């Protein structure tokens, strides 16, 4: 075996080992992928704030501690406000249910009354003579009971998982604040790219995550405004307050706004306001809930100069592949892909320009 073949074999062996090692690292990080992505996003978004704190505090540990604490407050306070607002709304639903069930002699008679009333209304538009309400009620009760049993066990596990993820987020965020520059330098040193290519790659990732944040804020503003208008048109109480609460809830991707208009639909249904409940459900699911699928891709695409359709499918594909955190990972993968393809386009391959031998 000559020296050239030996070098080629060594390169191939190193590439295979690198691929295996990267895959094993992915398996190790996979359980913490969501909190790590959130921590990276928070570190990028609040990096300017941390730089200002570093100008006053030379101690990196103290600066990282203060920055992490401020981010914790910025994130926790809206979540607490949202939790209090949603709990109050759910309490109103429960209180209304108790009051109205009291007039019917209890909860079961009241639910039966609601069911009969609903069937009468539906009977005006469809033939329900073959429909057995008692059998349907029994089947529904069995399904609900099974769901509650499984949900009760899952709730404890989800609470523990959420607590662990929260610790991982802010623990990682502290180190990203303290050693972010050295981490980027270490990663850049490992990548087989020149300094300009590495800087472009990292800048694209940061720009995409920032654009995703802007998209989330735009979605929050749009969904909050639309929910407030819907509440005002339907004559519901405190539409401005619920618009603000919806804007906060909308920061939770996909299902955020439903945390506000969903209980309101239930409350209207239990109050006997069928038409308002149906209208609010249609507006919530058909209009407010679809804003995320329209506004976020447009804002991200305009900010990073990528076609909106590509961003749209990167969001959908990201959610399908990685779950809810795919909303952030999908566009980043698209950005990295576009950057790498652009680097390849600008690379002067020797085989491309080499003259042919005759």
When mean pLDDT is compared over 72-86, 223-237, 321-335, the highest value belongs to 223-237
pLDDT per residue as tens digits for the range 47-61: 888 888 988 888 888
Q: Pick the residue with more confidence: 138 or 165?
A: 165
Residue closest to 89 by CA, chosen among 247, 266, 232 = 266
Length of the chain as a residue count: 358
Q: What is the mean pLDDT of the chain?
A: 77
Domain of residue 314: give its range.
193-346
Neighbours of 259 (CB within 10 A): 20
pLDDT per residue as tens digits for the range 212-223: 888 888 888 888
279 in any annotated domain: yes
Q: Which tokens is 125 given?
A: 């538009």
352 in any annotated domain: no
12 in any annotated domain: no
What integer pLDDT is reported at residue 254 of this predicted model?
63
pLDDT per residue as tens digits for the range 259-293: 788 878 877 776 677 788 888 888 888 888 888 88
222 in any annotated domain: yes
Could you tell me the CA-to-CA distances from 73 to 1, 60, 66, 67, 198 in Å, in that order? 64, 20, 11, 10, 33
End-to-end CA distance of the chain: 29
The total number of structural domains that make up the chain: 1
227 in any annotated domain: yes
Q: Is residue 64's pLDDT more than 50? A: yes
Q: Which of 147-151, 158-162, 226-230 has the lowest mean pLDDT?
A: 147-151
Which uninterrupted H or E stretch holds 235?
Answer: none
**Do the beta carbons of residue 94 and residue 207 sit within 8 Å?**
no
Q: Is residue 358's pLDDT more than 50? A: no
Indicate the SS3 state at residue 123.
helix
- Contacts of residue 184, Cβ cutoff 8 Å, sequence gap at least 6: 202
Q: Which tokens is 85 given?
A: 């607002």
What integer pLDDT is reported at residue 174 of this predicted model?
92
When mean pLDDT is compared over 32-41, 164-173, 236-245, 265-274, the highest value belongs to 164-173
129 in any annotated domain: no
186 in any annotated domain: no
329 in any annotated domain: yes
């Amino acid at each position: 075996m000559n020296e050239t073949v030996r070098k080629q074999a060594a390169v191939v062996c190193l590439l295979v080992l690198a691929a295996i090692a990267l895959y094993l690292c992915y398996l190790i990080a996979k359980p913490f992928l969501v909190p790590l992505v959130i921590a990276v996003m928070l570190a990028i978004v609040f990096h300017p704030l941390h730089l200002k704190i570093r100008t006053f505090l030379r101690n990196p540990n103290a600066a990282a501690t203060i920055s992490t604490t401020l981010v914790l407050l910025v994130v926790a306070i809206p979540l607490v406000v949202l939790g209090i607002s949603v709990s109050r709304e759910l309490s109103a639903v429960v209180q209304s249910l108790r009051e109205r069930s009291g007039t019917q002699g209890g909860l079961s008679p009241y639910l039966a009354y609601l069911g009969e009333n609903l069937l009468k209304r539906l009977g005006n538009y469809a033939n329900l003579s073959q429909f057995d309400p008692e059998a349907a009620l029994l089947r529904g009760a069995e399904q609900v009971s099974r769901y509650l049993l499984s949900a009760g066990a899952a709730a404890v596990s989800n609470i523990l998982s959420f607590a662990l993820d929260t610790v991982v987020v802010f623990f990682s965020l502290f180190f990203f604040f303290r050693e972010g520059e050295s981490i980027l330098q270490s990663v850049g040193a490992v990548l087989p790219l020149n300094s300009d290519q590495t800087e472009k790659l990292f800048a694209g990732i940061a720009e995409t995550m920032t654009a995703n944040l802007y998209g989330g804020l735009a979605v929050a503003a749009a969904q909050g405004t639309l929910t407030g208008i819907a509440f005002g048109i339907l004559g519901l109480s405190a539409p401005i307050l619920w618009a603000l609460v919806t804007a906060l809830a909308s920061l939770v991707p996909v299902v955020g706004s439903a945390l506000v208009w969903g209980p309101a639909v239930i409350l209207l249904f239990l109050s006997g306001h069928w038409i308002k409940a149906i209208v609010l459900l249609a507006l919530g699911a058909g209009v407010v809930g679809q804003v995320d699928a329209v506004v976020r891709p447009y804002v991200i695409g305009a900010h990073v100069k990528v076609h909106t359709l590509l961003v749209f499918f990167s969001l959908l594909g990201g959610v399908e592949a990685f779950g809810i955190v795919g909303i952030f990972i999908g566009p980043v993968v698209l950005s990295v892909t576009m950057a790498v393809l652009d680097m390849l386009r600008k690379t002067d391959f020797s085989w491309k320009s080499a003259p042919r031998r005759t």
